[in-house]
Structure 1
Amino acid sequence: MTYAQKIANLFQMTDEVWARHANPWSVWTRYAALPLLILAVWSRIWLGWGAIAPTSIVLLWIWVNPRIFPKPQTTDNWASKAVLGERVWLNRQEVPIPKHHNPVIAFTNTINAIGFVICVWGLVTLAVYPTLLGLSWVILGKTWFLDRMVWLFDEMRDRQPHYRDWLY
């Protein structure tokens, strides 16, 4: 089981949850989660241990987000295809993906990981610039990854009838 599959399992991503997460509102509001999480952690300056409350609320939002939006009326848009592509990527051990996607996906995940480390370092040391630099790298890496997922889905839906059924 891959690291990404373990995360999907942690989030209990059933077919129904994936269908709801394909709603563009779910995708775009998840983008707000990381800056809010950073603000919640940073609030320890003002709230002390009270920062656990806003941090917990944001973490709860990250878990609830894919569940609260309805299934979209159409999945023929960038955000929905990004989610569908993530499903394809997570299923790559069962249905192999074209090899030309692997280096770019690995690179986007590396950007994301480096940004995450820089961001955490900035949060631990309460340094604004590393926190913002790390945040920008995470958002850049995640956006590039999602864009690659759209490309992957568009390519794989023509090869796998099951994937084609996700597009409506």
Structure 2
Amino acid sequence: MDALFRGIATFFRLDDTGWERHANPWSVWTRVAIWPALVLALWSIHWIGWWAALPLSLIALWAFINPRAFPPPASTRSWASRGVLGERIYLARKERPIPEHHRVAAQWLAGIGGAGTVVMLGGLVIASPSLFVAGAVTAFFAKMWFIDRMVWLFDDMARDHSVYAAWMR
């Protein structure tokens, strides 16, 4: 799981500048909006066939560009900004360990989100709208809960580590 998270951060070019730009609430909320668009585009395969590749390609392009599309936020006190900063801390947990309860919760939530995604894709393959939607909703809420957990992680770690506290402005 660690390799997956680090690979995603590398793929999206989340270096120090990238993380700072991604902490802009506009970046966070427009990324959140990607999920419903992706779900609709995936299901559109049943309506428009391979033409669904067009909206899927546009969504993939936006997902790639998004973390760098916005300037660094003036303030990082918002829930969305702190969630991104918490994800950054979570990914760096080998260099600076995090409390065990945050690690376990994050792994559970990632697993639930992954299971929801598998159910959603299974529903897509067998053309079951109920399975597809159930999986999509499960994956979405697991991700939102994961972000909320990352806010909690950031708040805890910023209280105890000056390097993280300095990220708050």
Residue matched to 2:162: 161
Query: 1:26–1:69: 8 Å Cα contact kept in structure 2?
Result: yes
How far the C-alpha of 1:137 sits from its partner, in A, is 0.6
Name the counterpart of 2:77.
Answer: 76
TM-score under structure 2 length normalisation = 0.94
Is the 8 Å Cα contact of residues 12 and 67 (structure 2) preserved in structure 1? no
**Greater CA drift, 45-54 or 70-79:** 45-54
* Partner SS for 1:6: helix
1:31 matches 2:9: no
SS at match of 2:40: helix
| Separation in structure 2 between the aligned mates of residue 101 and residue 39 of structure 1, nearest angstrom | 32
Q: 1:116-155: CA deviations, max 9, x gaps?
A: 1011111122211111111111111111111110111111
1:143 and 1:91 map into 2 onto residues whose CA distance is 20
Q: Corresponding residue for 1:135?
A: 136
In the alignment of these two chains, the number of paired residues is: 168
Partner of 1:20: 21
- Residue type of the partner of 2:144? T
| Greater CA drift, 82-91 or 54-63 | 54-63
Please report the RMSD computed on the Cα atoms of aligned residues, expressed in angstroms: 1.3
The aligned counterpart of 1:103 is 104
* Partner of residue 121, structure 1: 122
Percent of aligned pairs with the same amino acid: 45
State the partner residue of 2:43: 42
Structure 1 residue 66 corresponds to structure 2 residue 67: yes
Q: Are the aligned partners of 1:38 and 1:123 in contact in 2 as well (CA < 8 Å)? A: no
Letter aligned with residue 42 of structure 2: V
Q: Kindly provide the CA deviation profile for residues 74-110 of structure 1, in whole angstroms up to 9, marking residues without a partner as x.
A: 0011110000000000000100001121221121112
Structure 2, gaps ≥5 residues long: none
Normalised TM-score (structure 1): 0.94
Give the aligned partner of residue 54 of structure 2. Answer: 53
